[in-house]
Amino acid sequence: MPADAGARADEGNAAAASRLAEVRRRIAVAEREAGRPEGSARLIAVSKTFDSDAIRPLIAGGQRVFGENRVQEAKAKWPALRAETPGLTVELIGPLQSNKAAEAVALFDAIHSVDRDKIADALAKEMRKQGRSPRLLVQVNIGEEPQKAGVAPAETAAFVERCRTVYGLTIDGLMCIPPLDEPPGPHFALTAKLARELGLTALSMGMSADFELAIAYGATELRIGSALFGTR
Ligand SMILES: *Cc1c(COP(=O)(O)O)cnc(C)c1O
């Protein structure tokens, strides 16, 4: 590598390391302020749209859990990164089509976007076939937005029950993306309440703009992209 390219790479590494340290610090502060144990909110670094060269500095900084929102993009990036560094966890946080269920089960350690019977059925079949069991979360369309994926809040209990009884799936928790133009607090509170009522412990909520608030409402998995990688 030419000297100036090497210097640029070092600079990129240092910037990524300092963004990662800052996000970790803010998570620790929010956990403490919420009276929660340190490390109880797990950081998922959302690397969608960023290439492997942008991801490696975070891996070098010790980050091991990553989130992607497209199956094809994840398939292009992660097999090679995983070969370089054992022990990486990659999770699907974006919508899933049933014709991609096989690839998703093969690739991901968790799927946060289970939201209809067709997907539950396809995942159950693939998990049996491949002998793999990614952790599963049900996405709730918490703001009941017509354009957004997810199960309606009023349908969530029945859908989680069908996942268990009809498809034999273990559901770990709920995921939500609050409406962009509304305060997220009430949406986090309602998602947490639904999860509690269903006896689900995992709560995937909180992004770059609102993760501290999500921690206050009990988030156990934070999906953070731009605060770690810069603007997309
Ligand atoms: C992109 C994305 C995120 C991360 O968003 P940032 O605002 O960049 O932190 C979180 N969750 C989902 C589902 C996403 O698609």
pLDDT score recorded for residue 163: 98
> Using N-to-C axis directions, what is the helix angle for 71-84 and 52-60, rounded to 10°?
50
Helix (H) or strand (E) holding 224: strand 221-224
Residue 182 contacts by C-beta under 8 Å, 6 or more apart in sequence? 143
Work out the average pLDDT over 120-141. Answer: 98
Distance 224 CA to ligand 1 centre (A): 6
pTM of the model: 0.96
Determine the Cα–Cα distance for residues 25 and 31; give it in Å rounded to an integer.
10
From the alpha carbon of 93, which atom of ligand 1 is closest?
A: 13
Distance 43 CA to ligand 1 centre (A): 12
In our burial notation (b when 16+ CB lie closer than 10 A, e otherwise), range 38-54 reads eeebebbbbbbebeeee
The span from the first CA to the last CA of the chain, in angstroms, equals 26
Least confident stretch, 6-20, 73-87, 121-135: 6-20
Contact 174, 200 (CB under 8 A): yes
Q: What is the DSSP string of 100-156?
A: GHHHHHHH-SEEEEE-SHHHHHHHHHHHHHHT---EEEEEE-TT--TTS-SB-GGGH
Counting ligand 1 atoms within 8 A of each CB, the residue from 27, 49, 69 with the most, and so the one to mutate, is 69
From the alpha carbon of 94, which atom of ligand 1 is closest?
A: 13
Residue 13's pLDDT band (cuts 50, 70, 90): confident
Q: Is the CB of 49 under 6 A from ligand 1?
A: no
pLDDT score recorded for residue 7: 73
> 15: which 2 tokens?
């910037």
3-state SS string for 21-58: HHHHHHHHHHHHHCCCCCCCCEEEEECCCCCHHHHHHH
Q: Note the pLDDT tens digit of each residue in 173-216.
A: 999 999 999 999 999 999 999 999 999 999 999 999 999 999 99
